[in-house]
Structure 1
Amino acid sequence: MSDTVLAPAAAEPKKKTLRWGDGLSLRWRKHAGILGALALFLVLYLFYQMSHPRGFTGQILIQNANEVFALALVSMAQTVPVLMAGLDLSVGAVMTLVGCIASHLVDGSPTDIALGIVACIAAGATCGFVNGCVVVYGRIQPIIATLATSAIYMGLALILRPTPGGKVQEDLSWAVASDVHEFAATFGLFDDGEATWLQPFAWIPVPLVLLALIILVIWVPFTRSVMGRTVYAIGSSETAAYMSGLPINRAKLAAFTLAGLFAGLGGLFLALQTSSGNADIPQAGAYTLNSIAAVVIGGTSLLGGTGSAIGSMIGAMVLRTISFNFRIFDVAPLLQPLFEGLVLLAAVSIGGLKLLRLKNRLEIFR
């Protein structure tokens, strides 16, 4: 029997298995912006509550939630165009216009109130749709297009409310600016003897409940839809999204319409909170600028493609908590923009460091 030399079998490439720690690291990097903003908010808010002379009370929580809500909605509105690497400079104007409309329509019988609320929401969405049409069909950069439309919306608001005034339904105004118990009691949704199931949630401010509902009912379904995924794809690379056959124009229209809807909801709440309408130009500008700051603090990249409206909502909470602390310590109001600017600069710098590291890695392949 002859000796036979067998050739060694070719070594199979080792398959790299994804360990549990690797998956955790990926998830951490994906949500690092939101988690960082949440940590900053918790630190600032805990410091605020510890320093407050009255301590932690339900009334203070309700007041804080009321002050946060409008900015949170405007920041969520700003998030959608930023995800496409654009900016919407009209969100504050849309909020103001819808607030003025609400001061005319959200009053009277229950039917009148319901129709008025629908009209306000539709007005906000329509303003956003107009923005989208100007960007898509006019082929104008979003920052320029929305700068022009913001002036138009403010002009309409001034026509509706040359001076502050009007009113909204008082019970509704009180209910949405209170806690869950007061909301239910105002509209007779339960008798005292039948409300035991509500007691664990009775202390929660209604604005926080509304924010959670908006996230669950509007934002989450949008991000899981084709339009939502296309918005993220446009921000990452519009050319690649186009070559993939994604509906670019329809996604842009949907994105700006959603931004107008969010801003309109913020304006509707602001009218309910103040029980009036006010075409305040400085206030509209302040909300627009603060919305950009909240978006950046919340971890959304101004270059598009990454981020979330949830992070922007938390970023709005950070900004408002800074103002809460300034109010407690009676610091000069002129120092507040300085401190907010430093926080914004730090957030932008952290995002810039991430991009610099990515660029340095790509240099290896040149």
Structure 2
Amino acid sequence: MAEPPAGRRSRFSPGALRGVPHAGLIAVLVIVVAFTAMRTETFATDRNIVNILSQVSVNAVLAAGLTLLMTAGGMDFSMGSNVAVTAAVAAKLLASGQPTGWAVAVALLLGTAIGLVNGLVVTFTRVAPFVATLASATLLDGVALLVHDGNTISIGTRMFALGNNKLLGVPYLLVVAVLVLVAAALVMRFTVFGRDAFAIGGNEHVARLSGINVTARKLVLYGTTGALSGLAGLMLLSRLGSSSPGGTAGLSLQLAVVAAVVIGGTSLAGGYGTVTGTALGLVLLGVVANALNLLDFSSNYQPVSVGAVLLVAAVANEMHKARSARH
């Protein structure tokens, strides 16, 4: 049989995979999934897959806002602590008999206000975002403890539907997370605000000279991360049915979210970000946590795995930036 003309021969090569978006992340995810599926039959069931996606729903809402903010060169290390405070305040209101709508409104407004305060500090004092928001996180962790006063606050069956019911077999929490991620992706890709975020992250000085109101954009971004933190706090509260001091929010939640965003390829220096990559990073961390659980590893290995993956992703991020600069 005659060989096909040279011009029609397949040009696929392993090197061509470098051009595929998130190829490395997808490859790691496939390897982890395949390995875990071979070791335990429980992993590949529909119920377990939905469980994984539900568990990362709260992280997904936070990661969507953080992707936008980091693309613009910002950072908010207080989102996890914001979740702790808003969940505690909402639980306190619900436990005292206040209407659900009032508790939801207060949580969202409180989260937004916290985000705006961070934005004001970062924008007008020129304090590094990392330092300002880390200080804010420490302060908010203390506030959450004061609200709890050492006690777990139970809300009974209030907000039970959001945390436990399903729509066509899909948990409400997952529906909310997907809607937030899609909205963030659409904003980044198709709106002037999204383009401005990329421009600010790429070069803030040039962005100002081009007529972009950098201050206003930053305040909106920090306010958005705050509002999404409030929403995540309500989601977490509805899933757990209570808020407790030293619960699942705080720094541990924040590090998992930062890890997912960085793993997904969003630049730590700003100027580049992708919601698709963030979603893949969320799924990878969720799968790793689930695999450790199913394979009977100690729960102490989970923070170790998150920290290791975050370190590798950060190094890879910087190497990619260096290669881009050379070319």
TM-score tier after normalising by the smaller chain length? 0.7 to 0.9
The structure that has the greater radius of gyration is 1
Alignment of 1:154-233 (within 5 A): 154-168=141-155, 170=157, 172-180=159-167, 202-217=168-183, 220-221=186-187, 224-233=190-199
Deviation at 1:218, TM superposition (A): 5.4
Map Cα deviations across residues 143-173 of structure 1 (whole Å, 9 max, x no partner): 1111222223222212211224223361632
Report the Cα distance in structure 1 between the residues aligned to 2:244 and 2:147, rounded to whole angstroms.
9
Q: Deviations over 1:63-113 (max 9, x none)?
A: 32332112222323332332132321111110111110221234698x921
Equivalent position amino acid for 1:291 in 2: V
Alignment of 1:36-47 (within 5 A): 36-45=24-33, 47=35
Letter in 2 for 1:168: I
Query: CA 1:333–1:107 in structure 2 vs 1: closer, same or farther (change >3 Å)?
Result: closer
Gaps (5+ residues) in structure 2?
1-10, 12-17
Equivalent residue runs for 1:1-366 within 5 Å: 32-33=21-22, 36-45=24-33, 47-54=35-42, 56-106=44-94, 112-168=99-155, 170=157, 172-180=159-167, 202-217=168-183, 220-221=186-187, 224-280=190-246, 283-361=249-327
User: TM-score, with normalisation over the residues of structure 1?
Assistant: 0.75
Measured against aligned partners, the alpha-carbon deviations of 1:304-342 in whole angstroms (never above 9, x if no partner) come to: 111134422331221121111111111234444444344
- The percent identity for this pair of structures is 25
Mapped to 2, the partners of 1:232 and 1:268 lie a distance apart of 30
| Runs of 5+ unmatched residues, structure 1 | 1-20, 22-27, 181-201, 362-366
SS at match of 1:170: coil
1:164·1:276 contact (CA, 8 Å) conserved in 2? no
Cα deviation digits, residues 20-48 of structure 1 (max 9, x gap) = x9xxxxxx95x723x64355435434544
The structural deviation recorded for 1:301 is 0.9
Deviation at 1:232, TM superposition (A): 1.4
Code of the residue aligned with 2:262 in structure 1: it is V
**Could you state the TM-score of these two structures normalised by the residue count of structure 2?**
0.84
Whole-angstrom CA distance in 2 between matches of 1:142 and 1:99: 24
User: 1:99-153 CA deviation, whole Å, 9 max, x = no partner?
Assistant: 10221234698x9212221221121111111111111122221111112222232
Q: C-alpha distance in 1, partners of 2:253/2:62?
A: 7
